[in-house]
Structure 1
Amino acid sequence: MRRYGSVIKVKEDQLELYKELHDNIWPKVAEVIKECSIQNYSIYHKDGYLFSYLEYVGDDYDKDMEKMAADETTQKWWAVCKPCQIPLDSRKEGEWWASMEEVFHLD
């Protein structure tokens, strides 16, 4: 199992919409997330930032992320969510959410 953290800004005037969307996540989107070997997935908010945490339990993260990105319903979900977000300037090329370095973990 691998842990992933990522961060993005949320538009202040879109925060409530973003929360509402995630309170009512589309069932197919949740299904695809699980099919792509992701579990214990959470998104937190603080001071205009969204922090995402997930655990990946599969064998090929890149392949599973390609599968998720190819899913038509997931693409539509992202199209609804992306206007709520502001990517960080410091993100790596090709990232929307900026990946974070894990500096401590305790089981």
Structure 2
Amino acid sequence: MQRFASVIRLRPEKEAEYRRLHADVWPGVRAALKRANIGNYSIFLRDGLLFSYLEYTGDDYAADTAAIAADPTTRQWWEVTDPCQQPLDSAADGEWWAPAEEVFHLD
């Protein structure tokens, strides 16, 4: 199992909408994540920053995340959630959620 974390800014005027959307994530989006071997997935909010954490149990993360990106329902989901988000200034070109480096873990 691999752990992944990432960060993005939440647009303050979109917080209520983002919370409403995530209170009832579309079943097709949930299914796409599970098909891609992603579990124990959480998004946290603090001071305008969204922090995501997930656990990956597959053997080809690049292929599995590409399958998520190709999923039509997930693409529609991103059309409604992306306007709520703003990449960090430190994000690489074309990077949406910026990966966070794990500096400590306790089992």
When normalised by structure 2's length, the TM-score is 0.97
> Displacement, 1:92?
2.5
- The equivalent residue for 1:99 is 99
> Displacement, 1:42?
0.1
**Once the two structures are superposed, what CA deviation does each residue of 1:66-94 show, in whole Å capped at 9, x if it has no partner?**
10000011000001000000101211233
Counterpart CA distance in 2 for 1:13 and 1:27 is 26
Aligned 1:1-107 pairs, distance under 5 A: 1-107=1-107
**Runs of 4+ displaced beyond 3 Å:** none
Counterpart CA distance in 1 for 2:69 and 2:61 is 12
Gaps of 5+ in 1: none
Identity %: 54
Count of residues in correspondence between the two structures: 107
> Displacement, 1:16?
1.1
RMSD between aligned residues: 0.7
Counterpart CA distance in 1 for 2:39 and 2:67 is 16
Letter in 2 for 1:37: N
Gaps of 5+ in 2: none
**Once the two structures are superposed, what CA deviation does each residue of 1:44-71 show, in whole Å capped at 9, x if it has no partner?**
0000000000000000000001100000
Letter in 1 for 2:8: I
**Once the two structures are superposed, what CA deviation does each residue of 1:20-45 show, in whole Å capped at 9, x if it has no partner?**
10111000000000000000000000
When normalised by structure 1's length, the TM-score is 0.97
